[in-house]
Structure 1
Amino acid sequence: MKAPSRTTSALKVLATTAVAGLVLAACATATPYQPAGYNGQRGGYSEQRVESNRYRVTFAGNSVTSREQVEMSLLLRSAELTVESGYDWFATVNRATERDTRFVSTPDPFYGPYSRFYGPYWGPSWRYYRSGFWSPWDRWGPWGPQDIDTRQIDRYEASAEIIMGRGPKPAGDPNAFDAREVIQNLGSRVTRPGA
């Protein structure tokens, strides 16, 4: 088998990297503050009415939406829902943030099987050193062990059950929020669609 030329291998790596970069760029935006399922987006906010003044509110983010952004979006939606329903304040009865973690391993295009023709190399922290030469004692075949990148992906989803009320919020209750004040303070801090 003829070894690939350096130019051919370099072009293949460059093309693979460019395609991977475009795919990642398309996915690398935080979940915007919008209803769940809007424009085909998986995340966003949703609510369910439980009683006349009681709702369950949820906000789900994607893998690049921080926990802080998810929790802030939940509070903002709770405040907006309170004002839309004709109330002044809301209190959270139950509130929780769940984290879904998974690990994804992918072969590294920069340290693929053809790099063996260019001698030994060192990889960054998640990779390992390999001589690049095959021997009959290499138990993983003629290309040696594959170089793998492993990354952790976290997704957050926050939910709360809220009770709404009119007039001033209950004094001394740390779970009670003035809805208009929350909108004023958090409205500009969430990621909006198209931003």
Structure 2
Amino acid sequence: MKQFIGPALLACAAVVLTNCSQATPYQPESASSAIHGGYSHEQIAPDLFRVRFHGNSLTSRETVEAYLLYRAAELTVEQGGTWFRLLDRETEHTVTREIRRDPLYRPWYGTNYGYWLPYWSYRVRGGGWLYYDPWHADPFWADRFDSREIEEFEASADIRIGRGPVPTDDTRVYDARRVMADIGPRVVRPKG
């Protein structure tokens, strides 16, 4: 039995790492999804909807906005419409900075003394000064390794669904089936 535990554990780890290292596919947003993010909508009136697409940190703004447009078209067809009018649209850009202390710093007097940790400056070639402070995770030997920025995009749109012939005199009106035909081939869906 022991000989199967190692490979099984390795396979599980590979699945987890694969799911964590993928851009958000075109999927409904759900807490039980293996990959964070997806689309959602709420009905505001009989023919008025607010549509959203939330991407994870590996999903580009362009993809988030394309999936939002695709979802608006798909929802229009699901509701029996032929076209939709874009009433309002917004894309939120969230940047989170993750900072970690230098994991190698261990003073002989322990870490129980709060901010009583070393801080010094040093001059670099070219005349500038850099600073070392383990609380800000910017040690001189690894200037950006202990901090990173995480970007996520979430786009939303309010749409009004229409039926019948597509109005041609309004630039905010989209033919739902045409949008689906144009964008659909590039939409990435979840595997499995």
Alpha-carbon distance, 1:24 to partner: 6.0
The TM-score, its normalising length taken from structure 1, stands at 0.66
Deviations 1:22-53 (A, max 9, x none): 97654220111111106434310001111111
**Compared CA separation, residues 172 and 38, structure 1 to 2 (3 A):** farther
Alpha-carbon distance, 1:150 to partner: 2.5
Kindly tell me the number of residue pairs found equivalent between the two proteins.
149
Please name the residue that 2:22 is paired with.
29
Q: Any gaps of 5 or more consecutive residues in structure 1?
A: 1-20, 114-127, 131-137
Q: Any gaps of 5 or more consecutive residues in structure 2?
A: 1-13, 106-121, 125-131
Please name the residue that 2:96 is paired with.
102
Please name the residue that 2:162 is paired with.
165
Alignment identity in percent?
45
Q: Is 1:95–1:158's contact at 8 Å kept on the other side of the alignment?
A: yes
Deviations 1:131-189 (A, max 9, x none): xxxxxxx997xxxx473433221100000010011122222322110000001011121
Instruction: State the distance in 2 between where 1:72 and 1:45 align.
Output: 11
**Compared CA separation, residues 101 and 51, structure 1 to 2 (3 A):** same
Q: 2:82 aligns with which of 78, 88, 110?
A: 88
The TM-score, its normalising length taken from structure 2, stands at 0.67
Instruction: State the distance in 2 between where 1:180 and 1:165 align.
Output: 13
**Compared CA separation, residues 170 and 24, structure 1 to 2 (3 A):** same
Instruction: State the distance in 2 between where 1:23 and 1:45 align.
Output: 22
